[in-house]
Amino acid sequence: MKTLLKQLTETFGPSGYEGDVRKLVRAEVEPFADELKVDALGNLIVRKKPLKGTKDAKKIMIAAHMDEIGLMVSHVDENGFVRFSAIGGVFRRYVPGGRVRFLNGTQGVIGYDRLDNINELPALDKVYIDVGAAGKKDCPVKIGDVAAFDRPFTEMGNRLVAKSMDDRVGVLVAIETLRSLTLPYAQGGASTPHDLYFVFTTQEEVGVRGAATSAYGVDPDLGIALDVTPAGDTPKALKMEMALGKGPCIKIQDPGMIADPRVVQWMIRTAEKNKIPYQREVLLMGSTDARAIQLARAGVPAGCLSIPVRYVHSPSEMVDYSDVQNSVKLLTALLRAPIGL
């Protein structure tokens, strides 16, 4: 799984430009898919049909978003310095001195205008990207070109660090769960009584857009989002219970949605029955694809399985490998048995 996670996180795919990530995911899931398609917004929809002879199979949508935060060129000055707008939640504290890579391969360093207070955090309209150009004419990027932060995948003991763990680690959990449900039982596989739709969504970071359209198309009976959740285990962090190394988080509420209580209890019972460590999540900021699924058509019972992460929306997001492994175990356990609502 680490090799695949390295590939996923080091592939560039800001919101709206997920093509390279989708190509990688498609190559991984195609051997396990009963049906596979890409919709108008670029969502990759992978269907796994229920066991033969299953009656009244429930349609379950599992969503993990492929996109990451990024930057888009808005102006190039006469000296070749590049101004940009944010794609998604780009935090000022992680920007100065950062390195970026454009989809055309151009690399850049983020600098900032003169500050009267050197300890001040500059606003995004006070920073620029230096791509090494001597002037506007030889600048290798143009208005509308897209970049993402540039950092390599790193192992620090049991902790894994990379840009775009949000949400390539959720994508990984979806892929590995699909793999485990497809392997022969003797090899640890476990098939499913459900009609499963693994959806690798687009444009989550700019308003859960891909999940909204794909949920409308799939029209599921139940939805589960796979995403990260900010950990509350660092010095003076927000007072939240989520911590690295204590298991996947079962979302109860975030500012965008209240998880269906029946889904929450089903997840908790399954984790306890299978002796999988878990955490109860009440998130104080942000939301996930579960919000869009919950509001699709006439409404869908929805929940979210989250992997705790430190330094969210930074170029160095950190997860614990045991949380990733246990997320796969829990999602597999949920999908291989009848729904306990």
Which residues are catalytic, by number?
204
Angstrom distance (rounded) from CA 200 to CA 61: 10
Query: Residue 301 is encoded by which pair of tokens?
Result: 């019972």
Angstrom distance (rounded) from CA 67 to CA 55: 36
Angle between helices 2-10 and 165-182 (to 10 degrees): 140
How many CA atoms lie within 13 Å of 295's alpha carbon, on the beta-carbon side? 13
**In angstroms, what CA-CA distances link 57 with 53, 63, 163, 273?**
10, 19, 38, 23
Angstrom distance (rounded) from CA 177 to CA 157: 24
| Sequence letter at residue 242 | M
Q: Dihedral, CA atoms, 186, 174, 278, 316, nearest 10 degrees?
A: 130
**In angstroms, what CA-CA distances link 125 with 15, 117, 286, 313?**
21, 16, 23, 19
Query: Residue 170 is encoded by which pair of tokens?
Result: 């959720």
Contacting residues for 66 by C-beta, under 8 A, at least 6 apart: 13, 18, 21, 22, 25, 44, 167, 168, 171, 200, 201, 202
Q: Dihedral, CA atoms, 332, 16, 81, 161, nearest 10 degrees?
A: 0
Angstrom distance (rounded) from CA 160 to CA 45: 28
